[in-house]
Chain A
């Protein structure tokens, strides 16, 4: 208690902040930059969601109703790009900005100006990408994976796509450098690596993944750019190049990218489940090593995305077994989360509800992933709606639900007010139920042979597509509750008393007053504070 009072006294004196537009344009404060990332991510989430709603409206019944085939291809491509690079990744960087410094007892990120730059690159990248709808040939339509030769045949949107991807990549790399440098150099005295909260650990590992794979994506699209404009033939078969090589390079980036979007979610869940079970996390060290193992394995499984391109048998076997190996560390994690809840004093507030949904739904996505990892089975599932169902189970529950859980968990710390718990619970149940109505039937469609990325389909697929679209509309509309709940909380939420918004919450962020002061940990936390947070 004495330390908490000390924290109040220390930080109330340092709450000066710039005002007006300069506060945001020239922001160097990690909390301001974190907020900008989260707002940007929210805008992109609804932009990508609008594309998804249009896709589901078109697929509501067989035949072409709303858009033509070209626009449909652009919609699926842009939905993927916007959701991955515009919604999920910036949301995690926003949460990292907000939470990492206050969780390790640092006053800010190590490189605040670089932090500003890495955020402000993003709006320009997405204005460029989204404005490609207006140019001749319309927006990119070759899929978010940008496979040549299809993508090389795009119109004026091609260089816009490549430049936008470069800018997003640079932004992510700068953000990752900042995270690594901050965690390696700015931890408070006594905050050893093995005392760090799991959100910080998972972000450190994620940052290394970003540093390793984003330059690979940048290299691949640079080579595609030179193929298009400078006569090279890296991926052009007519000139002696190899289009399949692009797939290898792309998925060397793409598979770790999946974990870039999920590992911070693992960290969030590892914070929330102990808090609402009122128990320390079961197997902290095992969780750290499991995360590192998943990250390592993510580098040696890329070709499971391309089993049908004609790989040698030895390669098929290697990538199949390596992929199945990922189930081991993932199983360790699911076991530890379950063991944390075992005989805990559980309560089911919105962050916990979203975490439990994450646990169930992500596991379903993991199981369908195992099915896809089997080479003979994958030959049947490849490019069907089964794959679409699988990766939405992984990414919507693994990333989007985890991001919502994180926002509902830390929002009272950010704004010093509690949100409307009843509305947030409604948000959860609508999301959880209609997420399943939306995506579960897609397993059946895929198993029955419906290909992905098509605007029209055989009549035999009509019923489940209609169910899926209804699920999609309600799921999409229910997400409007999310910004409304946050807006209402910021404006008129009930003030949070004391430092802890949740009885079972542990960690340095809960030693700070609520709302967290503009400048926090200008005096490092005491050993007692760190020890309280590191009870695992």
Chain B
């Protein structure tokens, strides 16, 4: 688990590069969106598999 000191240190380093921070936001958004799409199409695919076997 991150300590408060580590968290402050990490933020100080991150603030030096705002682009890196934006990149991290984009990456998290992309990962979560892929999970959403995976669940949506995954369930439909599961049902198709069940219907066609």
CB < 8 Å neighbour of B29 from A177, A215, A249, A531: A177
B47 touches A177 (CB 8 A): no
B36 touches A192 (CB 8 A): no
A190 touches B47 (CB 8 A): no
Residues of A contacting B7 in the complex (Cβ-Cβ under 8 angstroms): 187, 189-192
- Report the bound CA distance from A530 to B11 in whole Å: 15
- Report the bound CA distance from A398 to B5 in whole Å: 37
B19 interface residue per 8 A CB criterion: no
CB < 8 Å neighbour of A245 from B11, B25, B38, B47: B47
A24 interface residue per 8 A CB criterion: no
Distance (Å) between the CB of A188 and the closest chain B CB?
A: 8
CB < 8 Å neighbour of B8 from A110, A190, A214: A190
Chain A: residues with Cβ within 8 Å of the partner, total of 39
Residues of A contacting B33 in the complex (Cβ-Cβ under 8 angstroms): 177
B32 touches A211 (CB 8 A): yes
Within 8 A of A (CB), among B21-53: 21, 24-25, 28-29, 32-33, 35-41, 43-44, 47, 50-51
Among B3, B4, B10, the most chain A Cβ lie within 10 Å of the Cβ of: B4
Distance (Å) between the CB of B30 and the closest chain A CB?
A: 10
Residues of B contacting A191 in the complex (Cβ-Cβ under 8 angstroms): 7
Q: Specify the main secondary structure of chain A where it touches its partner.
A: helix
B51 touches A240 (CB 8 A): yes
Chain B: residues with Cβ within 8 Å of the partner, total of 28
Contact with B along A218-255 (1 / 0, CB 8 A): 11101100000000011000001100010001000000
* Given known A-B contacts A177-B33, A185-B21, A189-B11, A212 and B39 have beta carbons under 8 A apart: yes
Distance (Å) between the CB of A122 and the closest chain B CB?
A: 18
CB < 8 Å neighbour of A181 from B10, B25, B37: B25
A173 touches B4 (CB 8 A): no
A222 touches B44 (CB 8 A): yes
A180 interface residue per 8 A CB criterion: yes
* Given known A-B contacts A234-B47, A240-B51, A530 and B25 have beta carbons under 8 A apart: no
A193 touches B25 (CB 8 A): no
A111 interface residue per 8 A CB criterion: yes
- Residues of chain A having any CB pair with chain B under 8 Å: 110-111, 173, 176-177, 180-181, 184-185, 187-195, 211-216, 218-220, 222-223, 233-234, 240-241, 245, 249, 524, 527, 530-531
Question: Contacts A177-B32, A223-B47 given; 5 further ones with Cβ under 8 A?
Answer: A181-B28, A189-B11, A215-B37, A215-B40, A530-B4
A-B contacts, 5 of them at CB < 8 A, read A181-B29, A189-B11, A192-B3, A212-B35, A524-B11
Top 5 closest pairs, chain A to chain B, by CB: A189-B11, A215-B40, A215-B39, A219-B43, A189-B8
